[in-house]
Structure 1
């Protein structure tokens, strides 16, 4: 999974992916999801739990489009195989220094 292109604090993260991917089909059926970020050098990480939406509207696609994306989506921002995944965080768990803490967002 690629790093999020846009984020709204810790409440929402936007990713780019192929509409034809296995995960898009999965998230259309079941929106529950989690994302995990880690810093391997500091041996810490955070897992967010929430929901994942598949967005195909022009505004969402324009929001995270970057130069060079035509390498993956040759038809540009309107490519039907290009979509946005929006992860909305509900809670999480932070790990650091051999302990973890659960939190609500």
Structure 2
């Protein structure tokens, strides 16, 4: 892969679903489909919205190890990013990724206590395309 940030960034931007994984209290991985990231800084930092009361938030508060997977099923390629997930509840972070229509999920608006931001910081990745995989550092 010549330009990992460009290739993977393009793949991420085209997906309508992201799969995020956390580690539960018994040490097992748990994966969930989510809306794609609201914002990204290259391929290293990605921001998602979620409910503060969610199981995933509880997992990340206990163990920040995380994995995110994006799959382009049309061309049968994908990327896995490994890193850490931080739960942000400060007003600036919440306002940064708030979008019109989010009251459907968070009825009290941007100040809803059940609304928070997940900030993923990647360290390593694995890209699959054309029947081969390639590891890379972020």
Range class of TM-score, shorter chain: over 0.9
Unaligned runs of 5+ in 1: none
If the length of structure 1 is used for normalisation, what is the TM-score?
A: 0.99
Q: CA deviation at 1:2?
A: 1.0
Equivalent residue, structure 1, for 2:132: 99
Equivalent residue, structure 1, for 2:114: 81
Alignment of 1:22-61 (within 5 A): 22-61=55-94
Alignment of 1:65-80 (within 5 A): 65-80=98-113
Equivalent residue, structure 2, for 1:14: 47
Q: CA deviation at 1:72?
A: 1.0
Aligned length: 105
Runs of 4 or more consecutive aligned structure 1 residues displaced over 2 Å after TM superposition: none
Question: How far, CA to CA, are the matches of 1:96 and 1:36 in structure 2?
Answer: 14
Deviations 1:74-99 (A, max 9, x none): 11100000000000000000000110
Question: How far, CA to CA, are the matches of 1:77 and 1:60 in structure 2?
Answer: 10
SS in 1 for 2:36: coil
Question: How far, CA to CA, are the matches of 1:37 and 1:12 in structure 2?
Answer: 14
Question: How far, CA to CA, are the matches of 1:11 and 1:46 in structure 2?
Answer: 13
Question: How far, CA to CA, are the matches of 1:71 and 1:35 in structure 2?
Answer: 25
Q: CA deviation at 1:100?
A: 0.1
Deviations 1:50-84 (A, max 9, x none): 00000000110001100000111111100000000
Question: How far, CA to CA, are the matches of 1:91 and 1:63 in structure 2?
Answer: 26
